[in-house]
Structure 1
């Protein structure tokens, strides 16, 4: 959602609800990928292949984790910017009302 669209409390609450839903989904994906990486390592140890730490599948899982983690970081920045915009909006409203 574009953070330039906060006109009132309703638009802020809608943005925040949508952001939380997206972040919750992304967090669940990250946990799932971490679980897959862990299971992959456990399987490799059980098979006695512990010496080779990276395989194509492990690299693929790790790159997927990094992409999702980068996305989560971007979303946190987006929320921070939105909070600053909300604070500016409130300060402007208070200045106009005074």
Structure 2
């Protein structure tokens, strides 16, 4: 399934120093950790994926949401200490 990024996401991700290509690398990481729903989500709709991006050179937290059968990219940024721990441990 292809990821959909709305037109404003390039600029939004750039504020975090991340590109769409880097976020997609993290989403494709075979060692990624996925939380459905995101453990910090208030709505329970967002998905948190923690994965490594080789072109970014670090672990990213990438946030997506499913809507009407499509997956939309919301944001991504360098993983914090907690997410980095989840990645190293392979989940909870």
TM-score under structure 1 normalisation? 0.23
Higher strand share: 2
Between Structure 1 and Structure 2, whose CA radius of gyration is higher? 1
Say which structure is richer in helix: 1
